[in-house]
């Protein structure tokens, strides 16, 4: 099978080459296509082949009943990459693969909501829906997915900063750290007795933020989309402490989609094992002079690549924003990254841009033919002076974005 995808072509860093492009640049979604040019160089090392006769059964090992369709190799690869990076504790935890962390978000909510309902009321009979909150600005998907789903178990109640739980009533707080859209590190904000916290750690990887300690929470969500850029494989994973919650999640996956996609797990396993090998072995591998150096060690690691590209992009964007004057970007203080073993700065996957002089920042980006996501999608009290811009697209579109932004006369903004 030949997959034709222009985005896989190596892109150019040359700003001038983009001069006569006049198309709409879509920086609205967090599509991590900046990783294409990295993986292009590793096509021979990291591709997977699946024979027509393979992965036929619903179960992974059809001799032993494995009803939840989790490949042991996938679970091991996930645990290994977290051990190598040091960004999450996985020992003694359950790893549950899903169709992106988007699926796992709803699956985990259901499991948590049904368990807090039970704990607080002693039975499952209460028909009060469990409030789910997240501090503004929050990742727009949470609200939109939950309103689409209309669950009988839980309901979206918006901003965690203004949410006041009644006595010890149950609630679920979602903590996204680093946060989408603004890149900030976060902690829970609700003070309540009956609450549980779900951590969405999609961006807790060294390319985006310093890794300061292994995350060790009850329910944590990660995704291949933001770890290595393979969003199309739709593989995410939850790391869960409690056996009952893990069981509920697996049951939900089994009863709704009859197990996670094996092709996705197979590919994710290959990619994650490669990443773990690259970092685990590179630290002590010193080839003697004139000896053949395996490809694994010739190429920079994916986290170094991601951090380097994002840091360059942030630097260029900050320079333009500073020159224009009326736009602003969040500042981040550097922190010591245990993974890179040096201080690094946060270079988030999104730029949270504020335009201080207009009421609706989208007016400006529309004029420039740049599609972005407007502030109000991230919370009802978030100003439309904010827009979220993806920093993870390919070079060509990103450079075009910078070029169009720098063409803005300050006059147009004041």
For ligand PMP, the binding residue among 11, 18, 27, 30 (CB under 6 A) is 30
Instruction: Give the integer Cα–Cα distance in Å for 247 and 245.
Output: 5
In the bound state, the residue with its beta carbon closest to ligand PMP is 100
Token output for 96: 């549950």
Instruction: Give the integer Cα–Cα distance in Å for 173 and 188.
Output: 7
Q: How far is the CB of 236 from ligand PMP (least distance, A)?
A: 4
For residue 228, state whether it binds ligand PMP (rule: CB under 6 A).
no
Q: How far is the CB of 286 from ligand PMP (least distance, A)?
A: 37
DSSP helix/strand/coil, 317: helix
Determine which helix (DSSP H) or strand (DSSP E) holds 82, and give its type and residue range.
helix 72-85
Instruction: Give the integer Cα–Cα distance in Å for 239 and 253.
Output: 15
Token output for 47: 């591709």
User: Closest CB to ligand PMP among 263 and 277?
Assistant: 263
User: Closest CB to ligand PMP among 204 and 279?
Assistant: 204
Q: How far is the CB of 377 from ligand PMP (least distance, A)?
A: 13
First to last CA, the chain: 53
For ligand PMP, the binding residue among 87, 140, 157, 223 (CB under 6 A) is 223
For residue 139, state whether it binds ligand PMP (rule: CB under 6 A).
yes
Token output for 388: 């979220």
For residue 100, state whether it binds ligand PMP (rule: CB under 6 A).
yes
Residue 274: which of 18, 16, 39, 19 has the closest Cα?
39
Token output for 291: 């000896």
Task: Count CB-CB contacts under 10 A for residue 30.
Answer: 22
DSSP helix/strand/coil, 268: helix
Question: Which residues from 296-315 bind ligand PMP, rule CB under 6 A?
Answer: none
Residue 296: which of 46, 34, 73 has the closest Cα?
46
Look-up: residue for tokens 């990443």? 275
For residue 88, state whether it binds ligand PMP (rule: CB under 6 A).
no
For residue 399, state whether it binds ligand PMP (rule: CB under 6 A).
no
For residue 33, state whether it binds ligand PMP (rule: CB under 6 A).
no
For residue 238, state whether it binds ligand PMP (rule: CB under 6 A).
no
**6 within 8 A of 368, measured Cβ to Cβ:** no
User: Closest CB to ligand PMP among 30 and 192?
Assistant: 30
Residue by residue, DSSP assigns 196-219 as EEEEE-TT-STTTS---S-B--SE
For residue 188, state whether it binds ligand PMP (rule: CB under 6 A).
no
Residue 73 Rama label (left phi>0; alpha psi -120 to 50; beta) = alpha
The site for ligand PMP, by CB under 6 A, has a size of 13
For ligand PMP, the binding residue among 28, 173, 182, 200 (CB under 6 A) is 200
For residue 219, state whether it binds ligand PMP (rule: CB under 6 A).
no
Q: How far is the CB of 260 from ligand PMP (least distance, A)?
A: 12
For ligand PMP, the binding residue among 210, 229, 236, 306 (CB under 6 A) is 236
For residue 173, state whether it binds ligand PMP (rule: CB under 6 A).
no
For residue 28, state whether it binds ligand PMP (rule: CB under 6 A).
no
For ligand PMP, the binding residue among 202, 219, 309, 329 (CB under 6 A) is 202
For residue 390, state whether it binds ligand PMP (rule: CB under 6 A).
no
Quick one: which segment of 19-27, 98-106, 207-215, 373-381 binds ligand PMP (CB under 6 A)?
98-106
Distances (CA, A) of 89 to 17, 214, 291, 389, 400: 45, 6, 38, 31, 40
For ligand PMP, the binding residue among 109, 111, 113, 231 (CB under 6 A) is 231
Q: Which residues bind ligand PMP (CB under 6 A)?
A: 30, 100-102, 139, 176, 180, 200, 202, 223, 225, 231, 236
């Amino acid at each position: 099978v030949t997959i034709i995808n222009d985005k896989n072509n190596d892109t150019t860093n040359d700003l001038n080459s983009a001069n006569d492009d006049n198309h709409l640049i879509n920086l609205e979604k967090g599509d991590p296509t900046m990783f294409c040019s990295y993986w292009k160089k590793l096509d021979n090392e990291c591709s997977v082949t699946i024979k027509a006769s393979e992965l036929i059964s619903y179960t992974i090992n059809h001799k032993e009943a494995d009803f939840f369709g989790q490949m042991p190799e996938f679970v091991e690869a996930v645990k290994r990459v977290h051990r190598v990076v040091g960004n999450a504790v996985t020992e003694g935890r359950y790893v549950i693969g899903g169709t992106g962390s988007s699926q796992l978000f709803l699956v985990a909510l259901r499991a948590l909501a049904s368990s807090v309902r039970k704990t607080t009321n002693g039975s499952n009979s209460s028909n009060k829906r469990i409030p789910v909150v997240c501090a503004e600005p929050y990742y727009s998907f949470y609200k939109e997915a939950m309103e689409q789903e209309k669950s009988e178990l839980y309901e979206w109640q918006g901003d965690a900063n203004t949410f006041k739980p009644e006595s010890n009533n149950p609630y679920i707080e979602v903590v996204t750290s680093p946060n989408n859209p603004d890149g900030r590190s976060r902690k829970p904000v609700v003070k309540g007795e009956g609450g549980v916290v779900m951590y969405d750690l999609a961006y807790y990887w060294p390319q985006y933020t310093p890794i300061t300690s292994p995350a060790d929470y009850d329910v944590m969500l990660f995704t291949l989309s933001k770890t290595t850029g393979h969003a199309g494989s739709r593989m995410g994973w939850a790391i869960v402490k409690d056996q009952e919650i893990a069981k509920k999640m697996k049951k939900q996956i089994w009863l709704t989609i009859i197990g996670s996609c094996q092709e996705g797990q197979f590919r994710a396993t290959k990619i994650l094992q490669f990443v773990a090998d690259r970092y685990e072995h590179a630290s002590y591998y010193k080839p003697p002079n004139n000896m053949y150096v395996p490809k694994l060690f010739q190429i920079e690691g994916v986290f170094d690549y991601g951090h380097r590209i994002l840091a360059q992009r942030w630097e260029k964007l900050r320079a333009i924003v500073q020159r224009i004057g009326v736009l602003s970007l969040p500042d981040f203080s550097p922190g010591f990254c245990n993974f890179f073993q040096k201080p690094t700065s946060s270079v988030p996957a999104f730029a949270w841009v504020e335009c201080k002089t207009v009421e609706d920042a989208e007016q400006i980006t529309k004029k420039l033919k740049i599609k972005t996501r407007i502030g109000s999608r991230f919370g009802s009290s978030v100003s439309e002076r904010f827009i979220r811009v993806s920093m993870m697209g390919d070079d060509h579109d990103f450079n075009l974005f910078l070029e169009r932004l720098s063409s803005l006369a300050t006059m147009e903004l004041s």
